[in-house]
């Protein structure tokens, strides 16, 4: 990612003698910023994964996606797809694959018991403090955008 930003962003060349083949200062800066954002997101996801169970993580996402339901996007489908992706990743995380064909065969041959295919979302009712924090977060986002 750093290389892509370094060499494709316009700006002042680091090595002017190389001409078009020189990375730019602005590109390196943008690449470092994007890498920091990616690392921060991965760190936060790792923390969430350690703190919350899969059910709580999916239920939290389901609750947060209430905003997009007015756009016609099914929040339950998004949540279920996330749950299935997490389950598949956990089941195959430590298995090594020697070729792409082996990976495709493994995906097609994966059979889950019937009870594992049921995803139960336990929706909690938001408390007064939850609504307060949602309001404060929304107001701060609007304040930043404004």
pLDDT at 96 over 70: no
What pLDDT score was predicted for residue 28? 92
Report domain extents, the chain: 1-51, 53-146
CA distance 28 to 100: 33
Residue 114 scores a pLDDT above 60: no
The tens digit of pLDDT for each residue in 18-55 reads: 888 889 999 999 999 999 999 999 999 889 888 988 78
The Cα 115–Cα 112 span in angstroms is 8
pTM: 0.57
**What's the count of helices (H) and strands (E) in the chain, helices before strands?**
6, 0
Centroid of chain to Cα 143: 25
């Amino acid at each position: 990612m750093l290389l892509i930003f370094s060499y494709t962003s316009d700006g002042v060349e680091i090595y002017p003698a190389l001409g078009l083949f020189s990375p730019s200062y602005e590109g390196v800066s943008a690449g470092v910023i994007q890498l920091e954002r990616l690392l921060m997101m991965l760190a936060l996801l790792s923390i969430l994964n350690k703190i919350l169970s899969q059910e709580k993580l999916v239920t939290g996402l389901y609750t947060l996606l209430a905003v997009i339901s007015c756009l016609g996007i099914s929040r339950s489908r998004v949540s279920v797809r996330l749950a299935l992706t997490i389950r598949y990743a956990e089941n195959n995380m430590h298995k090594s694959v020697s070729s792409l064909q082996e990976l495709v065969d493994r995906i097609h041959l994966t059979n889950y018991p019937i009870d594992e295919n049921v995803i139960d979302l336990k929706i909690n009712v938001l408390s007064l403090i939850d609504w307060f924090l949602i309001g404060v977060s929304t107001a701060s986002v609007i304040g930043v955008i404004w």
